[in-house]
Chains A and B, each alone.
Chain A
């Protein structure tokens, strides 16, 4: 079938693009504005400050090249901070994902009233870092805290959770796990609901028991979700600040001095804005690389339908 098309005057593609841009601008500008002020400008400014030394108020910038980056990368303090942050990521991401998976599996059952449990399991997502930290500050209090009380009643040894260098990081990590479990549960629950029921039925007819169904249907079906939860968890861990600031201020003996807290100290306690900026840029690159590595590793076993 042939359709006669009347020859039409073509507007130049450039003019059409410009018109579309004018129409799109009011929709895009508000968020571009916010991003520019709170993300892009600080990012560019951090990189710029990384190459400059300043006075304590961030003025009188002097070009110092890569000196500050060299300082950061060779500093034992920064390396220790990095080590602490890595530990913190390990202590938070693995348990939060595992607990989130267990809770999501429980909440995925079709039972009367299950919605209530889904709400409870995911509720921590709605509490702020500050509120959760203060709450845990009380729970972890060596004198009047509930945790020590329970341990004591069970005949187990108690600890000074936040002032003992051995326990401070695990205690902060525990708090963070509690905060992140809600998010992990919600996302994994959504992932579970995306796995077609027919696959479970096929596996049952094929002779698979509960364990085989979990290994060959549930886990593969959840792999993209688990990747997402762990990537976001690592990023959260590398950016944690609020709970550290409230619970331990990086102590005792720097045992909880994660990178972001060390940046904060450098900038706002030592007024060394340039060095702090250099640390921030290094952190940015590390998180970028880590995420990239996670995706590369995951591409071997994550299956996207």
Chain B
């Protein structure tokens, strides 16, 4: 059930926009495809919609092979980035267009359109043309046009990217509510990791035409499968330290990366030894770097002193850029701390939050 990509490949000339892409979206699931521009997410969506033909592989909707079907035969609805409303039609006719094309009887059509309009707060705008609507209202009409047909799946291509920040946050919540109510399988494409993290029941992180990781937002955030995912998800971004693994006298494994040495936990050390890696990259999220005096009793995995370069206060928290060995490392601290640019302070990283990667393959080791 749901929607499935089976080893889909799409080539534009010599460039593979999608490379052996497989993804299983459960029935009723809200799945987010996220990645930088050019990663293949939009291509994947368009192949599912039938607007592009795959060079290889197949797509399935509710277990039916739709690879060779026309878009209108697939029973899906799509929300476009620029909304693509029919400019000469009023809101009512825009919503009704898909139903008319399917020869739905007039009474049923009218009921469906009014239902969708009520659901999205468009009831007072039915007579207006798209040119007379605000960006947020157009966006809702585009959504309405999708839900009015009760399709098997919604495909959304960066539907919020033309809205201002406040409206985007508001619409995000509305979309989550809408999905909870309709329970329709949704494939949502975005480059915005906040949208991905907040809306996706699962998210599929993509890069260079390949699926990098599939998981719940929490899994992807806490256990990124590789360096790309680790760097892409999270803002401010994770800091990376590359160094050599050394066993000390007591048998503990340490990664020495310039001025900082990270002591790995027993479990991490076991995982690293299992693949007998010595060249390692350690990743640390900004919120896991804390002032040394805040650490309490536990022994930190790493401790270092650094010059505070830039302090950005967001009110509820502070983002401090620390200079370490000539490069910037971001720490996210509670706003109660007094921190001034130019100070030298001591910082510490807790052991359980370290992520260890193989720098050659990029894979997460521990």
Contacts and interface: CB of A to CB of B under 8 A. Distances in A.
Interface string B46-89: 00011100000000000000000011100011101110111111
B228 interface: no
B101 interface: yes
A208 B88 contact: no
Interface string A149-179: 0000000000000000000000000000000
B85 to A, nearest CB: 8
B131 A206 contact: no
Nearest to A216: B86
Interface residues of A, number: 20
A208 B86 CA distance: 13
B51 to A, nearest CB: 5
A202 B78 contact: yes
B87 A205 contact: no
B72 A201 contact: no
Interface of A: 196, 198-199, 201-209, 212, 216-217, 220-221, 223, 303, 305
B71 A204 contact: yes
Chain B, interface size: which category?
20 to 34
A217 B50 CA distance: 19
A201 B80 contact: yes
A303 B76 CA distance: 29
Given A198-B81, A209-B72, 19 more contacts: A199-B86, A201-B49, A201-B51, A202-B85, A202-B145, A204-B51, A204-B71, A205-B49, A205-B50, A205-B51, A205-B72, A205-B98, A206-B98, A206-B145, A207-B101, A208-B101, A209-B101, A216-B86, A216-B97
Nearest to B76: A205
Contacts of A202: 78, 80, 84-86, 145
A207 B69 CA distance: 12
Nearest to B129: A303
B337 interface: no
B181 interface: no
A227 to B, nearest CB: 14
Contact of A303 (B77, B87, B101): B87
A220 B88 contact: yes
B327 interface: no
Among A199, A202, A204, A220, max chain B CB count under 10 A is at A202
A198 B131 CA distance: 17
Contact of A212 (B49, B82, B84, B101): B101
B336 interface: no
Contacts of A201: 49, 51, 71, 78, 80, 84
Given A198-B82, A198-B84, A201-B80, A206 B49 contact: no
Contacts of B97: 203, 206, 208, 216
A196 B86 CA distance: 10
28 contacts: A198-B81, A201-B49, A201-B78, A201-B80, A201-B84, A202-B80, A202-B85, A203-B86, A203-B97, A204-B51, A205-B72, A205-B77, A205-B98, A206-B72, A206-B77, A206-B101, A206-B145, A206-B149, A207-B72, A207-B98, A209-B72, A209-B101, A212-B101, A220-B88, A221-B87, A223-B88, A303-B87, A303-B88
